[in-house]
Structure 1
Amino acid sequence: MGLSFQLASAAALLVVAGSTEPIPVQSVLFKQPLEVEHGGVHNIHVEYQGDVDGELTVAYGPCNSGSAQAVHHIVGSTYVGSHHRAARHLDHHERRPTRFVWVTPSTLPAGCLHAFLEGQHVGRSAEIMTKHRRVRRQATFASVADPMGPWFDGVAYLQQKQPNETFVASTKNKRFGILGAGMAGLTTGLMLDSVGVRNWKILESSDRLGGRMLTSYLNGTRPEEGQYHEMGPMRFPYEITDPDTNETFPINDQKMVYQVADVLNKINEGNEELQVKFISWIQSSPNTPVSTYKRRPDGTFPGKTEVATNPDYAEPVVYSNETAAAQAQQALDDFKALTPERIKFYATDLFRAHKQAVEQGLFDWSEVEYLRKVIGTPLNTTDEVTPSQVVWPMWEYETVYFLANKWNTIQGGLSRMPEAFRPIVQDRIQFDSKVFSVQHNSQNNTLSVSYRPRGSNPREVTPTTEQFDYVFNSVPFNLLKFWELPRYSSLMRRAIDRTVFGGAVKVAIQYKTRFWEHLKHPILGGCGRVNIPLVGQICYPSWDINATGPGTMMASYIPDYDATVACSMSDDEHIAYVQRAMVAIHGQVAEDNWTGNWARHCWEHDENHAGAFALPIVPQQQLYLPAFFHTEFNTVFIGEHTSYTHSWVFSALESAARGTVQLLLDLGLVDEAKKVNEEWMARWIQL
């Protein structure tokens, strides 16, 4: 009989009060589960024999229980079959759900599941094995969770709902809308597919995949020609080597990027153009230019090694009060406590590190606030030690990332990864569809999503409206501010209205040759930073080192406030400014190799994003995070801005895993939620 337990003769009949038809005693057959964990969440699978109509109650208790009054606890109740109150189950065959949700108590004696129809016993499972929760080697929610932490506890999530609200599991034929084809939206579709939930559609406002994962291929070249650079994310930190012990350890959270690539490569096996391949990224190189006012005899900028070894280039920082500045810097170092042990902790277990950062108070203070209000550092010294405009918390995950000794990037550009999703989404995506409204329909508990063609005149074009049962919304909050939306909770509405987003602008320039690799002090990959205003970071290509022919470099990358100023320039003005800086840094050779081919992207001017990444200030991180773990009006919010790290590809992927599990639990599809949790490295999710 497999998993089906027919523990009493189906021929034994029972007449239910108010019914004229006999009901088989075992008219409800329990198929699963065979064993459960204390304090866990599980699906109950049943089959029906005969017409089962009326109020169905599932309970757990001693196997010899014959009434609902003699059980350990009630799992849940609902109306099924021809009963007029079973209309909510129209999606189920004959309005009889076959899957239910069981949130088991923290202590559970041995026993059986029982089914009662209008109070009469109509089904009993075999004895169910109970066990205590597995203690995983990695951190679980139980061991690291904090009310201010971001870990998603599926058990607690369901416990906070009314029992009968989550008792009946939905079918998989609900219609799901995914707003946005960035990495969060694309990965959500992939994860839904992985558990057989395929009735989804992506609405994307632009004409491409990837969102802020954007590679510019200059002068109409193809990826394999190497004439590209990244307008969005550029690299993935991979591992750190402790300089004192020579121990090398991975940056574990970034592994999710490689997992997604592996899954895509398997799906696209045999199609070389869609394979995602990683190559080394050179983050640090000896001769990259540095921020200094000293110059070589020929007027060009000295490189990193020269400045470090030649006293003629030494340029010590001068403070108005050297003692106060040293004390302030030491106070910040002591508070952050980024010891070698803490660095490894951040790299290998970011989830615990976040909890510790919350407990330590790192989210309560910016550097400026800490120095001024806790240490009492003079105002001028504070501004000398740390920029006064920096008001985000001291959550130092990025500091740890940039200690990485090994980095990777994607061969042919990071846009190759979202492009690898194309076969998956090609029949379930609509491009150039600019959403402006999401409205909840209380009559049938659905969502109406309205959009217009991108570039159309809203005063002249009639919008299109589609109906969805649920929506994954990955659109940045700074765009949602202007949408027509349901009346979300106060916390969610404030998160939408007030979360701070940073801008960024990047300029890539193609040159006739890779001249920087043939200078007296050759620059072979790497990123440098100069103190020419509005130039910021310069990154030289890590691929095709010493190749002949043209080459493309990231000539300028500036974020935040400076980006706003740079983006106020016209294209021609800005490119001319950056090119003059390249000549100042490298010499006349940069002008001699000028081709006139360039790419510029101002993220705050991008109508599909209106910003580069979330930049929550104190105290937004710990205030708004809990809101994202609640589904409001059938909407789950995903995207890097809803994660506990920001601006990295991993942040978007993490949000997709959390959001997918969250909605599967809303639907009662616990088995599927567990599968996503197990397959997608979602160690921060507890089920």
Structure 2
Amino acid sequence: MKGLLTASSAAFTLAGGALATPTAPRSDLLFFKPLSVTSDSVHNIHVGYGDDDFEGDVRLVYGDCGMRSHGDRHHEIASHYIKRSDRPERFVWIVPEDAIDGGCIHAYSGSALIGRSTRIPVKHQPRKREDMSAIADAMGPWFDGVAYMKAKQNNASYVTVEKSKKIAIIGGGMSGLMTSLLLDSVGIHDWHITESSQRIGGRIRTKYLAGSTPEQYQYQEMGPMRFPVSTFYPDANETLDIQDHKMVFQLGATLNEMNGGNTSSLAVNFIPWIQASPNVPANSNGFRLPNGRIPSATQVKNNATAYTLPAVEGAPDEKTVDDATETLDKWENVTTDVLKSIATNVFQAHKDAVSKGLFHWSEAAYIKYALNASDEVVDYITGNDDSPIWEYDTVYFGATTWRTIDKGLESLPRAFYPHVQDRLTLGRKVTGLKHDESTGKIAVQWRQNPMAMEPESEEYDYAVVAVPFSKVRLWNLPRYSSLLSRAISEMNYEQSCKVSLRYKTRFWEKLSPPIIGGCGAVDIAGIGSVCYPSYKINSTGPGVILGSYISGTLARSVAALSEADHVAMVQRAMVEIHGEVATEQFTGAYERQCWEVDEHQAGAWASPIVGQQDLFLPAYYKTELKSIFIGEHTSYTHAWIFSALDSAVRGTSQLLLDMGLVDEAKQIVDTWMGRWISI
């Protein structure tokens, strides 16, 4: 964040009368901070009052400490009418790039000098670290604190408001919960979370089957389930950390510290996740082993020819397909260096992808319109997917080291609960927001009785909306800008379904060869991936398999099945994969989750189509009608918990800047975004 990241505030002492000037200033206004500043940065000026009766217009300017009048200033900082009953303690100072070194802040009321600071060193040396504006300015002014504040007029935004402002947090998912933690961390405690369901955690949906407890380890993740950690690149013999998801691990450590350590009942403990395993079932193109079972990943790899289908009649010419694929690959240029850049700094990588124009193309569109390929060739190579060419998932799923959370990802919201329970309303379905132009407040509306024509409401100073646009688009909303309104109405969402099945024992770990964790993809229609638990390997007692994880068009088809038919289809697949032992061991207990028909989500995750991401992103970084929108759908990446947390850091910092709380915004950015700053 330009300036906001690089500037720091220290003590700044009263200097009234300390400097040789023609007229010693009065001490109606006392200056306390900062001791020094950096040019082209944003700071808070901390002030006090030497005269309890003072009231009137005050103008803050910066210039030579010996300047004789307001007109001799180098630049103006802010102006404000100060009342006896309303005395701001901070102002916002945007230090220009050409600010003189060793000047003073002067306070004038009319032509009278009523306060002056000590000399303030202004550092002009080149920055020693990369700031966020250098890597994200094209996609959002929030990252450039100087630009964000310059975009505001010299009005109340330049005067820090009280921390007692009332903040609505709508949505108790990870972005909403993270926002509450961030606000508390900087001393803002008058916030309230409104959640439509009877739980917190949003898309985190650990299911403990058959009424079991987390300690019994009979669970599966029906939402997010893993975090990529690092990737080993054999050509360079190098292991590179994936920086994004470190924010999740940092959050876990922070919650553990808040809750008394990682041995408490609320502990968030990360354990290894097995993503790839040699004996998981694999896509064998319909071929089966002599015993009728689906071959394993190792068997398919070792005998690929036997599991390769012959050319289909009417398929496009092989050379045409190969040439188009090669040209596409060259244009995308997804080299090892590109993948490493995404792992190291997703913000820089996003900006590079935007600059290259990748967000204007899907692979299908490029092959069709840039290469003039036939519809048959396009469909054969890529299908008709209209997602932009943004390769972060290639990096994430290329990871060689993964983690998950012991006892389920539900441990994250569980660890939040003691800190939000007294400022939380569950089961309240928000139906709208209403902005009052006369008071500047925003009202949250809901209906306790769905048939009531008039909603109930409560007013707040700001609303942080942590709800998917797939739900917000059904609300009654204020008249937001055209761009933000279109983002809310049009953002595309992906669908996914999961089915988990409980068995009497972890029989798959006793097969020959055994299946030890990992996810495999099968060719059975409507099943997709099958994942085995990474926890408590070879333990006794019941176990749970994620029998089906499927997204996209097929997920819509299986979501339309009755629950009984869907579960039966998945159980039949388990028999086809493992043999009759899956029939003998099935307990009949299951969980099913189809996200598009979840009343609190209406979609699995945001999946912007071509043209949406780079178009809509800037709208999220502007506070409109006291509303700030966060959530994974407003981030650079989607579907992952990191995406939700990143949006909360952005949204909270945006809120703090709007309130003039620059010091607090710096604190949050330095604490949570520091890994993307090169020292």
Which TM bucket (shorter chain)?
Answer: over 0.9
Query: Could you tell me how far apart the structure 1 residues matched to 2:140 and 2:328 are?
Result: 23
* Counterpart amino acid of residue 192 in structure 1: L
Q: 2:441 aligns with which of 439, 446, 453?
A: 446
Given that 1:471 and 1:636 are in contact with CA atoms closer than 8 Å, whether structure 2 keeps it comes out as: yes
1:416 matched to 2:407? The reply is no
Alpha-carbon shift at residue 626 of structure 1 (Å): 0.3
| Aligned-pair CA distance for 1:521 | 2.2
Matched, 1:325 2:321: yes
Distance 1:505 1:61 in 2: 63
Looking at structure 2, the residues matched to 142 and 430 of structure 1 have their Cα atoms a distance apart, in angstroms, of 37
Find out whether 1:66 has 2:68 as its counterpart: yes
TM-score (norm: length of structure 2): 0.94
Matches within 5 A, 1:227-246: 227-246=218-237
What does 1:310-349 align with in structure 2 at a 5 Å threshold? 310=303, 313-315=306-308, 318=311, 319-349=315-345
Deviation at 1:464, TM superposition (A): 3.1
Alpha-carbon deviation of 1:164? Answer: 2.5
Q: Secondary structure at the match of 2:290?
A: coil
Matched, 1:286 2:278: yes
Secondary structure of 2:403's match? Answer: strand
Alpha-carbon distance change, 9 to 39 in structure 1, aligned in 2, over 3 angstroms: closer
**Matched position secondary structure for 1:274:** coil
Change (3 A) 1:539 1:31: same
Q: Residue 409 of structure 1: SS of its match in structure 2?
A: strand
Q: 1:561 and 2:553 equivalent?
A: yes
Residue identity in the other structure for 1:233: P
Q: What code does the residue aligned with 1:286 have?
A: P
Secondary structure at 1:611 match in 2: coil
Cα distance, 1:60 vs. partner? 0.3
For 1:298 and 1:40, locate their aligned partners in 2 and report how far apart those are by CA, in whole Å. Answer: 70
CA deviation digits over 1:384-426, x for unaligned, max 9?
11121x1010100001111100000000000101110011101
Q: Which residue of 1 aligns with 2:172?
A: 181
Cα deviations across residues 425-455 of structure 1 (Å, max 9, x unaligned)? 01111100110011001111111111234xx
Task: Go from structure 1 to structure 2 and tell me whether the alpha carbon gap of 1:217 and 1:369 turns closer, same or farther (over 3 Å shift).
Answer: same
CA distance in 1 between counterparts of 2:310 and 2:107 reads 76
Counterpart check, 1:8 vs 2:8: no
The 1:374–1:151 alpha-carbon spacing in structure 2 relative to 1, beyond 3 Å, is farther
Secondary structure of residue in 2 paired with 1:376: coil
Asked if residue 28 in structure 1 is aligned to residue 23 in structure 2, the reply is: no
Answering whether residue 173 of structure 2 is matched by residue 205 of structure 1, we say no
Alignment of 1:371-450 (within 5 A): 371-388=367-384, 390-450=385-445
Runs (5+) with no aligned partner, structure 2: 1-10
Q: Percent identity?
A: 47
Aligned to 1:157: 148
Instruction: Report the Cα distance in structure 1 between the residues aligned to 2:244 and 2:656, rounded to whole angstroms.
Output: 23
- For 1:306, the aligned partner's letter is Q
Q: 2:296 pairs with 300, 303, 306, which one? A: 303
| Distance of 2:368 and 2:214 partners within structure 1 | 50
Which AA in structure 1 matches 2:47?
V
- Tell me if structure 2 keeps the 8 A contact 1:481–1:496: yes
1:638 corresponds to 2:633: no
Whether the 8 Å contact between 2:142 and 2:621 is mirrored in structure 1 is: no
Q: Give the letter for the 2:144 counterpart.
A: D
Task: Please say if residues 150 and 644 of structure 1, whose CA atoms lie closer than 8 Å, have aligned partners that are also in contact.
Answer: no
- Give the direction of change, closer, same or farther, for the CA distance of 1:133–1:190 in structure 2 (3 Å limit): farther
Please say if residues 516 and 586 of structure 1, whose CA atoms lie closer than 8 Å, have aligned partners that are also in contact.
Answer: yes
Correspondence list, 1:635-674, <5 A? 635-674=627-666
SS of equivalent to 2:608: coil
Aligned residue identity for 1:154: G
Q: Deviations over 1:35-87 (max 9, x none)?
A: 111110000011111122111000000101132111111111111125xxxxx
Given that residues 194 and 424 in structure 2 are in contact (C-alpha distance below 8 angstroms), is that contact kept between their aligned partners in structure 1?
A: yes
Alpha-carbon separation, structure 2, partners of 1:515 and 1:662: 51
Question: What letter is aligned with 1:445?
Answer: G
SS at match of 2:359: coil
- Asked if 2 retains the 8 angstrom alpha-carbon contact of 1:204 and 1:430, the reply is yes
1:460 CA displacement = 4.7
Contact 1:279 1:411 in 2 (8 A): yes
Q: 1:377 Cα deviation (Å)?
A: 1.9
Tell me, in whole angstroms, the C-alpha distance in 2 between the residues paired with 1:524 and 1:565. 30
Aligned residues of 1:56 and 1:116 also touching (Cα < 8 A): yes
Deviation of 1:198 after TM superposition, in Å, equals 0.8
Give 2:187's match in structure 1, choosing from 190, 196, 201.
196
Shift of 1:146: 4.5
Counterpart among 496, 511, 526 of residue 519 in structure 1: 511
Q: Is 1:262 matched with 2:253?
A: yes
> Is this contact kept in 2: 1:535–1:558, CA < 8 A?
yes
Q: Which residue does the alignment assign to 1:105?
A: 96
Distance 1:64 1:681, change over 3 A: same
What is the CA RMSD across the aligned residues, in angstroms? 2.0
* Secondary structure in structure 2 of the residue aligned to 1:414: coil
Aligned equivalents of 1:669, 1:333: Cα separation in 2: 47
Q: Which residue of 2 aligns with 1:129?
A: 121
* Corresponding letter in the other structure for 1:562: L
User: CA contact under 8 A between 1:448 and 1:465: conserved in structure 2?
Assistant: yes
- Is contact 1:153-1:685 (8 Å) kept? no
- TM-score for the superposition, normalised by structure 1: 0.93
User: Deviation of residue 359 (structure 1)?
Assistant: 1.4
Taking the aligned partners of 1:496 and 1:506, their CA distance within structure 2 comes to 27
1:320 CA displacement: 2.7
Corresponding residue for 1:18?
Answer: none
> What amino acid maps onto 1:471 in structure 2?
A
Equivalent pair of 2:175/2:630 in contact (CA under 8 Å): yes
Aligned residue number for residue 90 of structure 1: none
